[in-house]
Amino acid sequence: MSDPGHPTEVFFEGKAPIAPGMLCSQHFALADAATVAQVTLRFQCYGMHALAVLKFTFHDAHGQRTHEINSGPARPLAATGLNRLRRHILFLRLESALRSLLNMPRWFIVELPCATLRSGGLRVDVVNTGKFPVLVSGFALHTSPLDPARRVRNDHPLEGYAGSISVTAGEPLALFVHSPQALFAVEVIRFGASAATRLRIDDVPGRAQDYAQNAYEQGADWDRTTVLQTDPGWRAGLYVARLSDCSGALFDITFVVKRKVGEAAAALAVLASTNTWQAYNAWAGASIYEYHIDDGLHRPDIFVVHQLRPNPAATMIDARGHLACEEKHVLAWLEREGIDYDLYSDSDLDADPGLLARHRALVLNTHSEYWTGPMYDGLERFLDGGGNLAYLSANGLFWKTAARGHQLEVRHDCGRHSFIDEAGGRWRDHGRPETRAVGIRFTRAGQKSGFKPYRVLSPGHWIFAGTGVKKGSLIGERGTKYQGASGWELDTIDARARPAGLVHLAKGCNAWGSGADMTYFTHAGGGGVFAVGSITFGGSLVVDAVLSRMMRNVFARFLRGAGAAPAAKAGLAADAGAVEA
């Protein structure tokens, strides 16, 4: 009998190649099954689609089926050189050996209901439902007696979250705050042409608030601390409620304010990448990318995150990053140029995919990575209807995401979504390559290639009018924090999926030829699509005269006849009287 205060691990050693239709069975025996509160099955897996083609059937000690997981059927992957090699078991063995040597194994996690262990024994049958072999190894059953909802004493400094990621001007916004001090202050700041304070409330009563260990997926579930009444006159845009207390602690609750009801929409819409903010939010110990909870379950990350919890990743206090603090640069440039816009969260587009029809053009800002089906539907309808798109982002339209209430589910492992009962993974593997919408696609080659300028390739294109550039000229050499407009994560042209008429405007000078591709093409729906393929573009846009002229040319065409500038100038005049933050 194992110590009930510690996790139990049962291993199956050795590698097992599973040919198409082949069955692989593993048996586990557990003496203390009654104490188990959480169960995971961990294993390495190599092959085409990996987890997506494996069907798992679980049986108890008496042979009765207790659970089944079937992620497929998987769509065929593009026939790249690497994917062709992965059709052969010898290559899979080589990939497994090399990853083991480099200490970079491909671990997969399957979460199981505790009922699968109640009999004290477990048989796992794994069937390859795909067309090519899969190599699996290192099966390990991990159990923990720890309740996932156990309470955790909150020893964090001041922090909080809002009851919604976006709010319409004039409506209330609930704030939920953990305050170790008896009193704290709230300062509401709008990030437009400059950072301007719109409201300050001092001496707000506060108290400490604990949370459940699984708050990362179930929410912090705190008592409401106060309600922020937004003003109907607040201009649409990116805001924070900045918390502070006598200890010197600061914390930003970042949110979107939408245009007040009844006011005419701007010609331009900007989509804040709020799903990406949450994907990188590791508050309470876990995110879509990491897992730091000591429960013995060996999870590398999680599949579900909750939006109603503090999000230090979306702060504006630290100006370096790839989330909200980088998105503010594009918004600042628009306002300095007198271009009016409506700002929406990803959740707004998911809830109302038709909202883009109110606008002539759309900006995808910085790191628009996580898209739900309704969001993608709305974008495709917008483009098919003649809408214009400025893709000032990279790694966009990438991961298939499912939303349920305030939760987001992402299956990086290509497993099956529990929210929508569909296979997960990359949108491009489900018949929706990002190239179809934005012309270019994310590649991992540029992630470690630094921050570099673009080199002009097509100086005669109308986007370069008035810039004075020549072929070979460098543009975007400076940035607010990163010295180069092509950097962080990068998108490039895919010769196999290049839209008709796509013009290669410029190429990032990053190492190994991995720099971002700046492109333009006319979508089949009639609208234009301008893409920069870089996360750090916005930080260079606000300080680079050539990039600014190029973007003025883009929006002059995209918003032609919209009369956007006068409304924007009126908004800027209102901001000019605000207190500088």
pLDDT digits (tens, 9 = 90+) for 86-100: 888 899 999 999 998
Q: Which stretches in the chain have pLDDT values below 50?
A: 1-14, 563-581
Here the CATH number for the domain that contains residue 113 is 2.60.120.380
Q: Is residue 59 part of a domain?
A: yes
Q: Is residue 439 part of a domain?
A: no
Q: Is residue 28 part of a domain?
A: yes
Q: Which spans in 395-528 are helix H?
A: 435-438
Domain total for the chain?
1
Determine the pLDDT at residue 367.
Answer: 97
Q: Is residue 68 part of a domain?
A: yes
Q: Is residue 232 part of a domain?
A: no
Please give the residue range of the domain that contains residue 74. Answer: 8-144
247 vs 158: CA distance, rounded Å: 9
Yes or no: say if 148 and 142 are a contact pair by the CB < 8 Å rule: no
408 vs 420: CA distance, rounded Å: 11
pLDDT digits (tens, 9 = 90+) for 295-317: 989 899 999 999 999 999 999 99
266 vs 245: CA distance, rounded Å: 38
Q: Is residue 234 part of a domain?
A: no
Reported in sequence order, the residue ranges of 30-133 that DSSP labels E, i.e. its strands, are 38-47, 54-60, 65-70, 107-112, 121-128
Cβ neighbours for 459, distance < 8 A, ≥ 6 positions apart: 469, 470, 471, 473
Q: Is residue 122 part of a domain?
A: yes
Please name every residue paired with 70 in a beta bridge, in sequence order, or none if there are none. 55
Q: Is residue 287 part of a domain?
A: no
Please name every residue paired with 553 in a beta bridge, in sequence order, or none if there are none. none
